[in-house]
Structure 1
Amino acid sequence: MSPALLSAAYVLIYVIPFYLSSATRPSPTLTRDAPLSIRARIRAVTFSTIVCAVLTTYVFYEHNVPAHEIPKLLGLWPVSLFDTAQTMLLVVILFAGPLFEHGIVHGGWKDWVTLRGVYESLCSWIGYRNFIVGPVSEELVWRSFIVPLHVLGNFTGTQIVFLTPLYFGIAHMHHLYEFRITHPEVPLFVAVLRSLFQFTYTSLFGFFATFAYLRTGNIYTCIIAHTFCNWMGLPRFYGRVGVEAGVPIGPPDVDKKDDEQNSAPAYQGEGSLWTVAYYIILVAGATGFYWFLFPLTQSKHTLSVTFD
């Protein structure tokens, strides 16, 4: 079976179980953020991830991949903390603007130092899904399992980077149906635009995560980066810093609870200097990300692909 067909099958294997049970299927009275639904979906994605792992192992067997090469293809071994630190530094550079806003302008650095926010997040089912189960299962399926299929299929690194994340984006398109069920008052056109926007930023994250995976051969880095992006949300691209809360729209597979969005605090303005500083740092972070993309993902554990 071709890598494309297998990847499409993985999308179905991951998504379809959400609609097989009343506990996981969205309805006007049961949203995806309900604890009952989250627990059931965690069981579903665990099962789906195991099935995809078995299928990937079978492909390795069919291609006569030596046993000692399998952990490397899966990004499980060897583990390089230095590679992870370098790549996460790159991610932090990209998010320099949002980190400045949330940490300095809003004073969030105090919670970061005490790790209070981490504890509070992981004690909720939504936090457990968004910051642990989601990143681990999705990075395993869309990076650790799907990318090696294309490596064995002799795809180039460039093809893998720009092709495989599209499956990642497509897997999130079912949120359009969920959103329509739980928000029937929203016009269809707006809901479609929202879904297309989600497809865009999930694919963009996928491009980077796949690139980092190929360059470092490290799935753990991708999981940590995914968790970090889920925590940060999308950067602010307009508006005054400190005036409105700027609740994140949500990174891959993250939809903030409606009650959290509606009750977000409105911060008092801190003056135009905060806003000027934020956008300067935002642009500087994006520029730094561009310049350091290759240097900070350089590793001796790179997978055997060529970038044309």
Structure 2
Amino acid sequence: MLEPGHGSIRQEVHAHTRCWVCVLSCLLLAFFYVGSLYIWRSILPRDHPSVIKRRCASVLLVSALSPAVVKAWIHWADVRVDVSVWALMGVRLEGFIPAAVFPLLLTMVLYLGPLVHSAMDNPKGFTGELQSALDVQSWRLCVGDAVWLRNQVVAPLTEELVFRGAMLPMLVPCTGPTAAIFVAPLFFGVAHFHHIIEQQRLHKDCMSVILLVAGMQFLYTTVFGAFTAFIFMRTGHVVGPVLCHSFCNSQGLPDISSAFQHPERSALVFSYLMGVLLFLVLLFPLTDRFLYGAIPVCSIAPPPASVC
């Protein structure tokens, strides 16, 4: 006959084992994703079309295999799941349209300052910016550009599917949904350190500069990863993070310093501040779960699941 304390001890051991399986699974996915970029030996730079095509094929394959990793994790961690693996990873139809529109709108609000800045510098103003965004010929040129396809399509799709769609469901039972939002981006940020290898191989900068740039990129990608992880947890969809990722890649980091040197400095600074303020005001209303239905990943979250 077991003593009363044995049941709780067994549960603690099981939870500890589950967490180790979770961490190892996330590390395995990150290793495969980054490692797939370097299975092709080439002396060409990373922006060469042939290098881009090979690397895109590799990460697309890893992304396609990521549901199998999640499925294996469910088995080895002994997690009870009442939905499909794809739904758990945020690939589902319920609430799809609001999940695609509202997070992207929220991100565009955050970028209000840079968008106004770009429109002010356009000779045709806001009309010119809108015409450029809707120009069919411009889009055709983009689709034929390997760098654009990598930055705007393949990278957002594969990175969000692997680092958010696959990793967050594995982290949630161990860390809880709130902590998972801040833990998952660490794998995403560290994965970007592979750029150090590229920079060192091409001898573009000294090692101190390369490390400084890598550190700044780690900080930016980790913060951004926390935002898209929040979007994933609140909507239960991966489409929102993918579109937000693509939009942010197209915009880059806001050039705040040039805003202070602009002839219309007051208006620009005001638009930057309004963008941040509106973003904070709209963050929770636009990610309210009533817009998206039941969140599959929340079904495996331990109580209390505050973010869910």
Q: Tell me the TM-score normalized by structure 2.
A: 0.82
Moved runs in structure 1, 4+ residues, more than 6 A?
none
- Count how many residue pairs are aligned between Structure 1 and Structure 2: 272
Q: Does 1:54 align with 2:68?
A: yes
Tell me the equivalent position of 1:169.
Answer: 189
1:8 pairs, out of 27, 32, 49, with 27
Equivalence for 2:11: none
C-alpha separation in 1, matches of 2:103 and 2:168: 19
- Structure 2 Cα separation of the partners of residues 20 and 66 of structure 1: 35
What are the ranges of 5 or more consecutive residues in structure 1 without an aligned counterpart? 244-270
Structure of greater Rg: 2
Spell out, residue by residue over 1:234-278, the C-alpha distance to the aligned partner (whole angstroms, 9 max, x if none).
11120257x8xxxxxxxxxxxxxxxxxxxxxxxxxxx612x3222
| Unmatched 5+ stretches in structure 2 | 1-19, 123-127
Alpha-carbon distance, 1:158 to partner: 1.7
Q: Quick check: 2:163–2:188 contact (8 Å CA) kept in 1?
A: yes
Equivalent residue for 2:45, pick from 23, 31, 39? 31
Which residue of 268, 271, 274 maps to 1:278?
268
Deviation at 1:180, TM superposition (A): 1.8
Greater helix share, 1 or 2? Answer: 2
1:233 corresponding residue in structure 2: 252
Q: Does 2:164 align with 1:143?
A: yes
Aligned equivalent of 2:107, options 91, 96, 100: 91
Shift of 1:291: 1.8
- Note the 1:125-140 alignment, pairs <5 A: 125-140=146-161
Choose 46-55 or 87-96, whichever is displaced more: 46-55
Structure 2 counterpart of 1:301, which letter? A
SS of aligned partner of 1:21: coil
Write the distance in 1 (CA, Å) between the matches of 2:33 and 2:269.
Answer: 38
- Residue 70 (structure 1) shift: 2.9
1:141 partner letter: V
Assess if the C-alpha contact under 8 Å between 2:189 and 2:221 holds in 1: yes
Identity of aligned residues (%): 26
Asked if structure 1 preserves the Cα contact closer than 8 Å seen for 2:156 and 2:246, the reply is yes
Deviation at 1:11, TM superposition (A): 1.1
Write the distance in 2 (CA, Å) between the matches of 1:240 and 1:210.
30
Q: What is the root-mean-square deviation in Å for CA atoms of aligned residues?
A: 2.0
- 57-66 or 216-225: which moved more? 57-66
User: What is the CA distance between 1:76 and its match in structure 2?
Assistant: 1.0
Distance 1:175 1:51 in 2: 24
From the superposition, tell whether residues 166 and 117 of structure 1 become closer, same or farther in structure 2 (CA, over 3 Å): farther
The answer to whether the Cα contact below 8 Å between 1:60 and 1:70 also exists between their aligned partners in 2 is no
Instruction: Check the 8 A contact 2:107/2:244 in 1, yes or no.
Output: yes
Task: Supply the distance in 2 between the matched residues of 1:120 and 1:65 (Cα, whole angstroms).
Answer: 47
Q: 1:201, CA displacement in angstroms? A: 0.8
Letter in 2 for 1:87: P
Residue 68 of structure 1 aligns with an amino acid whose one-letter code is V
Q: Which residue of 2 aligns with 1:259?
A: none
Is 1:301 the counterpart of 2:294? The answer is yes
How far did residue 116 of structure 1 move? 4.2
Report the TM-score, using the length of structure 1 for normalisation. 0.82
CA distance in 2, matches of 1:141, 1:20: 19
> CA separation of 1:228/1:185 partners in 2, compared to 1, >3 Å: closer, same or farther?
closer
> For the structure 1 residues 285 and 116, does the alpha-carbon distance in structure 2 shift closer, same or farther, using more than 3 Å as the test?
farther
After superposition, give the CA deviation of every residue in 1:205-257 in whole Å (9 maximum; x if it has no partner): 1000000000000111111111111111111120257x8xxxxxxxxxxxxxx
Cα separation, partners in 2 of 1:162 and 1:66, compared to 1, 3 Å: closer
Please say if residues 259 and 268 of structure 2, whose CA atoms lie closer than 8 Å, have aligned partners that are also in contact: no
